[in-house]
Structure 1
Amino acid sequence: MNAIYLLTALTPILAILILLVVLRLPAQRALPLSLGLTALTAFAIWRMPALYIAASALEGLIISISILWILFGAVLLLNTLTAAGAVERIRAMFFAISPDQRVQAIIVAWLFGAFIEGAAGFGTPAAITAPLMVALGFPPLAAVVLALTANSSPVTFGALGTPLLIGMGRGLQVGEQLAPVVAQALPNASSAEIIQRVGEYAIQMDLGVGLFIPLIQVLLLTRFFGPNRSWKEGLAMWRFALFAGASFLLPAFLVAHWLGPEFPSLLGGLFGMLIVIPAAQRGFLLPKTTWQFPKHVSPPTTLPSSHSLLKAWLPYLFLTLLLVLTRLPALPFKSFLQSQALHFNNLLGTPISTSLELLYLPGTMFVATAVLSFALFRLPAATWGQLFGAAARRLVGSAIALGAALPMVRIFINSGVNALGLESMPVELAYQAARLMGTAWPLAAPAIGSLGSFLAGSATFSNMMFSLFQVSVAAEVNVPALIILALQALGANAGNMVCVLNVVAAASLVGLSGKEGAIIRLTLIPMLYYILWAGILGWSVTRLLF
């Protein structure tokens, strides 16, 4: 692949970074421009047929409806709970745990977010935790950055293990069987055994990587958003932050080892909260000085009995129950809801097909919970239309951004159909990286995983796209395939922090549409830490143990 084709393959990445991050254009302008550049270069240079470009764009538009439905449900639920006063009651609870907002950030974004990631995934944690943090008094930009940073390590086992079970499981197959290169690299191992071992390796390495994410959270908080712009005020939390990191990761590791990949994030987040919240209430490992934003308004100390803490949390408890029940394969709900999908086959006469699983999406669970909350809190019927209208209006900017981002991504991914005989753009970029790195491939493997999440919008799709490629490179350069697959999974986690779709979605939920570049500039810091340190650990493991 010559320099022109390399530059063409890099067009979506460079366009996003330059337009959003460097030139600081709002996503509503930057992403349509990126789409135009990607479509033009795909047609003129990559020689992708115009019909496939149009079908890919249409596929992206259909998928964007799924994301917008999730966002609509999240905004509607938040608006409903705010109007009912439940958010204020929850806010009071977190202040009762600790008035220190460094502690609140760790509990809400890291632990509660991990629990929600384990239940639902697909951007749901940021959709819940970022608005909740704004209600706690965090600046909207800080809330989004912290929510996205925390939504990293738990992603390995998100949505009841979907990134591994579905993403990597299908990514290693050709048809219904393991690909020949996988069977050769991992003889006598079934798909289930491979996924189990990859999950164990991933969480073991994450004990050295994700352990520091809560500390990075508070460092970002105090340095970029605090009144004193101080690293020191964040470092003062190092003992409690590491304690919180271990309180999630160690239970998650034990669950991954004994129960498999479905429940590590769900149970790890739950056990983490059960460990960390009582510790915070007792001041365990906390610095003596409480850290808050200036002019912080304290929550009311008393609220009406109709707004008891249990009642305020009931919608979230109901939401969690719905998410878990509709995602357990052993129950009939998942298959029934997925069977109601709208299928769009052979778009514009091409093999490109997609579907809309509106009833199965978390957005439906959000809307159902919001409707329940209308009745639970006895809101006046006149407010229903207002809340629905406000939720829809909030998403106008996001609809434009997502309506450009997803078509761009699908053109990028479907570009394997071309007149040049090249693979798709992301795979060709991965081949170039493999040729460059050679036996040092473990250092680069997480970056490939993060590339997939950054553009495809999901760790599941990243694992599906690159797992077979990662095994092929591992066999070529003679490094352990299981370690490389674990690094792929960790890299996919990291890409989640800067994923365009997650950034646009989270920004819209807290009224930051147009500030996506600022979000990415800040989340790039923990993302680069994550892939670099994961790569170093993976490389060290292959050198020392294999």
Structure 2
Amino acid sequence: MSILNTLLALAPIITVFFLLVILKLSAKVSMAAAYVVTALLALLFWQASPAVVAAATVNGIIVSLTILYIVFGAILMLNTLKESGAIHSIRQGFMDISPDRRVQMIIVAWLFGSLVEGSSGFGTPSAVGAPLLLALGFPAMASVMSVLIIQSTPVSFGAVGTPLLVGVWSGISNKEDVTAAIAPQTVEQYLLQITGNVGLLHALVGFLIPLILCGMLTRFYGEKRSFAEGLKAWKFAIFAGIAFTVPYYLVARFMGPEFPSLVGGFIGLLLVVPAAKRGWFVPKETFDFPPRERWESRWAGIFDGKHMDDDDTPSFSVFRAFSPYIIVIGLLILTRVIQPLKAFLTGDMTTITLANLFGTPITSKVQFGYSPGTILILVAIACIFIFKMDINRFKRGWGDAGKTLISAAPALFLAVPMVQVFINSQSGDMSAAGALPAMPMVLAQSAAHWFSGVWPNISPAIGALGAFIAGSNTISNMMFSYFQFSTAQQIGLNTDLSSFVVALQAIGGAAGNMISVHNVVAAAAVVGLLNREGEIIRQTLIPMSYYILQAGFIGQALITGNIIWWGVAIAFPLIFFGIMSLTGKKA
């Protein structure tokens, strides 16, 4: 690939980053500009068919609607719990476990969020976890940052293994060269090998995510603005990291891709919550946010306010107040695990399909019955009976949810179509001289050409790029798994080692969710935080960079067996925490 092709393929990403992150413009302005740039490049330079650009745009709008549907359900759930008074009991229940905000964040975001990710995926942890942290008294910005950072380790096995079972599988199946290269293994056996490697790499990188969470919380939202203050919770954070990642890895290695995040989250909660109640590993000094009147205005969303702390609301038992979330998790698991029920909810009778839009191969599908949004809305309605709510209060919550949805819609209606055009930007006639593959593949091929000697270090970045663009680990794996396998073959890696390269793709694809624009927009919307997307991405870029760099170092060490790379992999977290501890004020 020529340098010009590469630079032009980078242009949409540079546009987003420059306008959103550097100039701090709103997502809707930044994504509008990025959409125009992407569409013009696709039409004029890539020679993509106008029908394909139109179909990709329409498909993006439809995908935006499905995301907004989930956002609406999450906001409705939050508003219903608030209007019923259950929020107060939930908040008190978590305060009874521990008043330390670092501990609360680890339990809600890392463990509960991983459990939700394992059952549903596709942004649901943000839709459920961010409002819950907000209800506990976290600033809206801190809530969004926390749930986005955990969109890493559990993501590869989210939605009962979809990123691997659908994403990686669709990339490597039905490929004659793959079948020949991995023989006598079958593709199914090779996928299980990749699954075990994904679990291992995520565990080795991800067990430190709770500690990074603590540091990020105190650095950006503590009175002292000190990363080091978060590290004082290192015993509890590492305990929580290991409590999740050990069962997670064992399930991935010996059982397959469906249940690692589910089992890891569940066992983690069983171990960590009782330990926190007993004060095991909990830091002696309790961390809390500054008084609300000293919060920076940019921390708060439209839902922030003293109404979250009111004491005159009805009082329920913690179990009864939390029961809607238990029902949501239960229904998510049932609809994903019981195959006849899943087949019905995803079948032709319950799926709206718009096939071959404008005569192109692009097809849109909407599955409202299978959507987490439907479950959230149904459980919110059930709250009327669970909490014996006044119907007028429920209607008020419904109206407030609708108003927030309208505010969030413009950014998503621009972000997702831009992504779809980017992904579908291949030349109309691929047999013609000078025909170009889609922009993401141009970038991947250029990276393979320039960095083949250290490809394991680069492989996670390609996965992250795909997820940043598409907002989905599954789609990133669809786009790049076969490319990663082919690159591994070209640089002379055998079957066992090539499975690590494909695994690194999945690792990076998971980490990229932390900075995906439409993930950020959706997560911010559920807590009423708008036009702060750039600042959120600037924060989540820090743990995302740690994740893909450390995964690359460990992957390079495992593949080459070089002791120097193992030294780098051991030293890098120490360097990372050391540098971050020097930022802000000293604790």
The one-character-per-residue Cα deviations of 1:79-137 (angstroms, maximum 9, x if unpaired) are: 11111112221111110011000111111100010000011100000111111111111
Do structure 1's residue 417 and structure 2's residue 431 form an aligned pair?
no
Cα 1:351–1:231 shift into 2, 3 Å: closer
Do structure 1's residue 332 and structure 2's residue 340 form an aligned pair?
yes
2:28 and 2:415 in contact (8 A); partners too = no
Match of 2:199?
203
Q: State the 1:302 CA deviation.
A: 10
Pick aligned residue for 2:259 from 228, 239, 263: 263
TM-score of the two chains, using structure 1 as the length reference: 0.96
Whole-angstrom CA distance in 2 between matches of 1:215 and 1:418 = 48
Match of 1:92?
92
Match of 1:315?
324
1:186 and 1:481 in contact (8 A); partners too = no
Question: Matched residue of 1:343: which SS?
Answer: strand
2:88 and 2:313 in contact (8 A); partners too = no
Match of 1:533?
550
Q: Which runs of 5+ in 2 are unaligned?
A: 293-305, 564-587
Whole-angstrom CA distance in 2 between matches of 1:257 and 1:348 = 44
Question: Matched residue of 1:47: which SS?
Answer: coil
1:523 alignment partner AA: T
Question: Matched residue of 1:327: which SS?
Answer: helix
Whole-angstrom CA distance in 1 between matches of 2:362 and 2:539 = 36
2:248 alignment partner AA: A
Cα 1:303–1:516 shift into 2, 3 Å: closer
1:351 alignment partner AA: P
Pick aligned residue for 2:488 from 474, 480, 484: 474
Whole-angstrom CA distance in 2 between matches of 1:95 and 1:302 = 18
Whole-angstrom CA distance in 1 between matches of 2:375 and 2:357 = 29
Cα 1:496–1:166 shift into 2, 3 Å: same
The one-character-per-residue Cα deviations of 1:443-464 (angstroms, maximum 9, x if unpaired) are: 0000011111111111111111
Match of 1:133?
133
2:153 and 2:203 in contact (8 A); partners too = no
Do structure 1's residue 288 and structure 2's residue 297 form an aligned pair?
no
2:328 and 2:379 in contact (8 A); partners too = yes
Q: State the 1:189 CA deviation.
A: 2.1
Pick aligned residue for 1:384 from 378, 385, 394: 394
Whole-angstrom CA distance in 1 between matches of 2:171 and 2:139 = 40
Whole-angstrom CA distance in 2 between matches of 1:56 and 1:500 = 18
Do structure 1's residue 236 and structure 2's residue 232 form an aligned pair?
yes
Whole-angstrom CA distance in 2 between matches of 1:6 and 1:316 = 46
Whole-angstrom CA distance in 2 between matches of 1:397 and 1:23 = 21
Alignment of 1:127-526 (within 5 A): 127-173=127-173, 177=174, 179-295=175-291, 307-328=316-337, 330-339=338-347, 340-418=350-428, 420-479=434-493, 480-526=497-543
1:81 and 1:87 in contact (8 A); partners too = yes
The one-character-per-residue Cα deviations of 1:223-253 (angstroms, maximum 9, x if unpaired) are: 1111101122111111211111000000111
1:372 alignment partner AA: A
Whole-angstrom CA distance in 1 between matches of 2:166 and 2:410 = 30
Whole-angstrom CA distance in 2 between matches of 1:500 and 1:231 = 25
Whole-angstrom CA distance in 2 between matches of 1:404 and 1:438 = 35
2:190 alignment partner AA: I
Q: State the 1:304 CA deviation.
A: 5.3
1:72 and 1:363 in contact (8 A); partners too = yes
Q: State the 1:63 CA deviation.
A: 1.2
Whole-angstrom CA distance in 1 between matches of 2:360 and 2:252 = 41
Question: Matched residue of 2:208: which SS?
Answer: helix
TM-score of the two chains, using structure 2 as the length reference: 0.89
1:338 alignment partner AA: T
1:423 alignment partner AA: P
Question: Matched residue of 1:326: which SS?
Answer: helix
Equivalenced residues, count? 540
1:253 alignment partner AA: Y
Whole-angstrom CA distance in 2 between matches of 1:341 and 1:153 = 31
1:131 and 1:509 in contact (8 A); partners too = yes
2:199 and 2:253 in contact (8 A); partners too = no
Whole-angstrom CA distance in 2 between matches of 1:543 and 1:496 = 28
RMSD of equivalent CA atoms: 1.8
Q: Which runs of 5+ in 1 are unaligned?
A: none
